[in-house]
Amino acid sequence: MLFPRESLLQEAHAFLSRPGENQVGAEEALSPDLAGLPLFDPPLLGSSAAHDPLYATLKAPEAIGPWFLSPEEWLPGAASVLSFFFPFSQAVIQSNRQTPDAPSPAWLHGRVEGQALLFRWARHLVALLQAAGWQALCPCLDPRFASMEHRGTDRRFPPQAAFTSRWSERHAAYISGLGTFGLHKGLITERGTCGRFVSVLTDLPLPPTPRPYTGLYDYCTHCGACVRRCPVGAISQKAGKDHVACAYFVDWTMALYAPRYGCGKCQVGVPCQSRNPRKKRPAEG
């Protein structure tokens, strides 16, 4: 059985349409008005060849580092990387524009319950591919993923490993043709930067999605809006993003809202919030 790209997207749409799947449940809602909140709009899908030479470049110290595992290291015989971007619903996005100094409750749900939804989708897709006779694996659900966000003092890892892992959803999405990075270090897609990414590796061969860009930051206009939006001044035009300052703020939100956390202020109220700012709108000619 083959799974053309359109069939995979249809499957993702059907998954989101399951009763209660793509919304905040009443038992977990931070307030009664958030029960039933839609989390995501329909996703985008990009694919890349597992042997794309760009994956090897991510092992360089100036990229991710030697601890990064290539698709074939994750899954021997891998042929394709399937990268999905699930854009947040406008309800989630707009709520986070209205709270200037702290993440909105809806955004917290999008970050935490939304990520749990993506994990369920990844497990569903892996099972679907395996049932059809293909190998499949989701790196972020594998024990080797080993997020290093809190390992800055672990001598086994260099200092730059404190904010990374052995796989990068954003870099996989970049290689899979979904978009390029912004000054805020989020990935800007045709549906903007507000949302979540998840990827699945498989030995199912799929045609790679063309990359309509060549540079890491081709979709970013460097307008500086994300610089002004950051509540702790962690982004600058010259120095880029201070990951330590950003992490401290996110840790502060964890202390306040545990088990939820997040921020996303640099992603809302900016030109790349829900679109590629380099692409003209139809009315712009």
pLDDT at 160: 45
Nearest to 208 by CA among 82, 72, 74: 82
Domain extents in the chain = 5-274
pLDDT at 161: 43
pLDDT at 5: 86
pLDDT at 285: 44
Question: What are the φ and ψ backbone dihedral angles of 138, each rounded to 5 degrees?
Answer: -110, 110
How far from the centroid of its chain's Cα atoms is residue 88's Cα? 11
Three-class secondary structure of residue 92 per DSSP:
helix
pLDDT tens digits, 83-114: 999 999 999 999 999 988 899 999 999 999 99
How far from the centroid of its chain's Cα atoms is residue 81's Cα? 14
pLDDT above 70 as % of the chain: 92
pLDDT tens digits, 228-246: 999 999 999 988 899 889 9
CA 168, CA 42: separation in Å to the nearest integer?
A: 22
Task: Determine contact, residues 189/178, Cβ cutoff 8 Å.
Answer: yes
**Rg of the chain on CA atoms, in Å:** 18
CA 276, CA 283: separation in Å to the nearest integer?
A: 15
pLDDT above 90 as % of the chain: 85
Task: Determine contact, residues 265/96, Cβ cutoff 8 Å.
Answer: yes
Contacts of 80 (CB under 8 A, 6+ apart): 47, 48, 49, 50, 201, 202, 203, 204, 205, 206, 208
CA 227, CA 251: separation in Å to the nearest integer?
A: 20
pTM of the predicted structure, to 2 decimals: 0.92
pLDDT at 28 over 50: yes
Task: Determine contact, residues 104/96, Cβ cutoff 8 Å.
Answer: yes
120-141: average pLDDT: 97
Structure tokens at 68: 């990064």
pLDDT tens digits, 147-202: 654 444 444 444 444 557 899 999 999 999 999 999 999 999 999 999 999 999 99
pLDDT at 101: 86
pLDDT tens digits, 34-67: 999 999 999 999 999 999 999 999 999 889 999 9
pLDDT at 239: 87
